[in-house]
Structure 1
Amino acid sequence: MKKVNLYFFISIVVVACSPKLKSNIVQTLSPLSDNALVVVLDISDNQSIIGKAVGTIEAKDGGLAVSCTYYENILNLKKLARKAGANLIKITEHKTPDKWSSCHRLKAKIYSVTNPKQYEIQIEWSADRKLTWKDFKGKPDTINHPNTLAMTNSGFGYESGISMFKEGKIFVQSVFNTNESWVVPKGKNDYVLRHEQIHFDITEIYSRKLRKVLTDAKITSSDTQRAKAIFDKIFNELQKRQDKYDRETKYGDKKETQENWEAIVEIELAKYEFYKENK
């Protein structure tokens, strides 16, 4: 009887095990607030970083860990960075799940920079973070789009977690791609920016729809085929909606129609408010 209870206790500990987090701080700074912006640069990002080197951080498999998808461990690293007073993370090593571990294992250097926004490659949608023209960092493609004032590149994706001990979660994100989004000089006005913001807001609506459909269908990380089919369906709906928005507003030229769309988008964001975050 004791032996059974002992194994039962051990199994609970294993299932509840989180990834092992580690910090090596070389410069002590005041902690940042819980919602302070922290920018993450992946291994392939070669931007020059001008700022204070704060130290290194790591998220690794603590031994049959769960809750250690790339998405979850990036959140873990952001918490470590904020605690250390850093607002920029540069990933230096990324080991993907393999036969030895179901975790994404990450190592990174952390920095304190004056303006973290200037390093952003992707911006995750947030009601508190509206787009500015500084976020449009791409080079205008006036050859393929000669009559276009601005171009917004946004989309959503999902990641599923794998675990031997419980059903993994599926995480959905909607992002704005700064280096693929651009504006020509004469397009830099508040009205055009509002039009582009709605494109990003529409992407967020369909991210929330995706979360809702996945939840209603009780999709888990083991249902890869069903998840992919649902994702493709919602993504196609998003593309059609974006095209309809541009077509009906005539790319923002029809101001009354533009205002109607802004009202519709606000209503739909509120409708799917419950699904604005990964549960």
Structure 2
Amino acid sequence: MKKLFIAILPFLLVSCGANIKSNFTEKLKPLTIENKVAFLDLENKLPENVKKIGEAKFGDSGFSTDCGFDTNLISARKLARENGANIVKVVKKTTPDLWSSCYRITVEFYYYEGDVTKLSQYQIQIN
């Protein structure tokens, strides 16, 4: 029994976060930590002249524990920076319910030539 637990433990540890499926149609130069990334929630509008470069879905893996809205956005920001996107736009959001304790969101990644700090955007709540 102990050997079985030890064999399963790595899978349980890996599956504690949200299940993320991403698709990028274009990979741009990665952004640095100094480059700002804007979070646009459902009600925030995209500026004109943006270039869509990808999308991602954040779901529940069945063992997910750290999958709140802000946590998912922080993971999305990492994906955005790796692929050169400076806007993360939430296009679908399902709040936790009886079936899942996780936020399930779909986001799109965009590159914008302008100053993303001037956009009306969602502010992550850091505890």
Task: Calculate the TM-score normalised by the size of structure 2.
Answer: 0.82
Query: Distance between the aligned counterparts of 2:95 and 2:122, measured in 1?
Result: 21
**Letter aligned with residue 78 of structure 2:** K
- Cα deviation 1:180-231 (Å, max 9, x = unaligned): xxxxxxxxxxxxxxxxxxxxxxxxxxxxxxxxxxxxxxxxxxxxxxxxxxxx
User: In the comparison of the two structures, how many residue pairs are matched?
Assistant: 125
Q: Does 1:55 align with 2:54?
A: yes
Question: 1:123 deviation in Å?
Answer: 5.5
Residues 49 and 22 of structure 1: CA distance in aligned 2, closer, same or farther (over 3 Å): farther
The CA deviation at 1:61 is 1.4
2: CA distance, partners of 1:47 / 1:82: 18
Q: CA deviation at 1:57?
A: 1.8
Question: Mind listing any 5+ residue stretches in structure 1 that lack a counterpart?
Answer: 125-171, 174-277
Where does residue 6 of structure 1 map in the other structure? Answer: 4
Secondary structure of the residue aligned to 2:66 is coil
- What are the within-5 Å matches in structure 2 for residues 68-87 of structure 1? 68-87=67-86
**Residue 93 of structure 2: aligned partner:** 94
| Counterpart position of 2:33 | 34
CA gap 1:15/1:38 in 2 versus in 1, 3 angstroms: same
Match of 1:44, SS state, is coil
Shift of 1:48: 3.9
Give the match for residue 25 of structure 1: 24
Equivalence for 1:237: none
Amino acid at match of 1:88: I
Residue 117 of structure 1 is matched in structure 2 by 117
Query: Residue type matched to 1:99 in 2?
Result: L
Q: Is the 8 A contact 2:41 2:121 kept in 1?
A: no
Work out the CA distance in 2 between the residues paired with 1:81 and 1:118.
18
1:6 counterpart letter in structure 2: L
Mark the runs of 5 or more structure 2 residues left unpaired by the alignment.
none
Query: For the structure 1 residues 65 and 123, does the alpha-carbon distance in structure 2 shift closer, same or farther, using more than 3 Å as the test?
Result: closer
Q: Is the 8 A contact 1:64 1:101 kept in 2?
A: no
The amino acid that maps onto 2:117 is K
Does 1:45 pair with 2:44? yes
1:7 Cα deviation from its structure 2 partner: 4.0
Q: Alpha-carbon deviation of 1:11?
A: 5.8
CA contact (8 A) 2:41 2:122 kept: no
Letter in 1 for 2:4: L
Q: Which amino acid aligns with 2:119?
A: Y
Q: Distance in 2 between matches of 1:99 and 1:8?
A: 31
Q: Work out the percentage of aligned pairs sharing the same amino acid.
A: 29
Map of 1:240 onto structure 2: none
- TM-score calculated relative to the size of structure 1: 0.40
8 Å CA contact retained: 1:40, 1:90: yes
- From the superposition, tell whether residues 99 and 60 of structure 1 become closer, same or farther in structure 2 (CA, over 3 Å): same
Is 2:40–2:122's contact at 8 Å kept on the other side of the alignment?
A: no
As a proportion of its length, which structure holds more strand? 2
Tell me which structure has the larger Cα radius of gyration. 1
